[in-house]
Amino acid sequence: MLPKLILAVGLAAPSVASAHIQLMDPVPRTTMQKEQHCGDPTAPRRAPRVLVPGSKFTVKWLETIDHPGHFRISFDLDGSDFFIPPNTTATTVGLDPTVMIDLIPDVQGNLPIAGRMYMQEITLPNVECANCTLQVIQLMTDKPPYTTDTLSDDVYFQCADIQLSNSAPPPMVDAGVPPAGDASTTDPGATNGGCSASGGGGGGSLALVALGLVVARRRRRR
């Protein structure tokens, strides 16, 4: 279940625990976070996650150090031409075509030891691209100076290499995605249509098993 998964991530990856945010899905290009715009600028692109153009995808990231502020998701079709927010409070949607969702709330208080998992569904651009990049940033309102140059201390960056291709495997059907926020105590079987011991789908299987036992007993009596 999801709570155990988050705990395992926190215990098995000390580098994650020392970070502020960590992309979980898709996998980030690098664990470095302060370098603009996508981690280490000298790091080569890793094998990209291949996804279907125009499909829905759930971005997942882990916050391990709590700060007031918000998160933002951007998508660039050709590399890393991302826009850095000019301030800490205004939305950047519409100011730059790469910005998909802005002002995703940063849940405050009661941060689990292993971190807080966030999930946000996006709709990918309906075009093919071989060199596209997904970016998640944490923008903190308690870390001045608020500038757009390398002196800025209020933004953490995470980026993942993506390829959009019509030949990619179709996305798995998801019954629903919880809003971005504290999912560390959420059972995915209850919120995302997963298997559950008390769910309606399991009841039918148990009934068939019970019926089989009754038939077997009657045959032995004969």
The per-residue pLDDT for range 93-152, each reduced to its tens digit, is 888 889 999 999 988 888 888 889 999 999 999 999 999 999 999 988 888 877 777 777
Radius of gyration of the CA atoms of the chain, in A:
22
Q: What is the pLDDT of residues 36-78, one digit of tens each?
A: 767 666 778 889 999 999 999 999 999 988 888 899 999 999 8
The single-letter code of the amino acid at 2 is L
Are 68 and 138 within 8 A, CB to CB? no
Q: Phi, psi (5° rounding) for residue 119?
A: -135, 135
Cα within 13 Å of Cα(153), Cβ side: 4
- Is the pLDDT reported for residue 12 higher than 70? no
- Please report which confidence band the pLDDT of residue 171 belongs to, taking 50, 70 and 90 as the band edges: confident
Does the 2-191 domain belong in CATH 2.70.50? yes
Going from N- to C-terminal start, the domains of the chain cover 2-191
The DSSP secondary-structure symbol of 38 reads T
- Contact (CB, 8 A) for 37 and 30: no
pLDDT of residue 37: 64
Q: pTM, whole model, 2 decimals?
A: 0.69
More confident residue, 183 or 93: 93
Please give the biggest Cα pair distance in the chain: 86
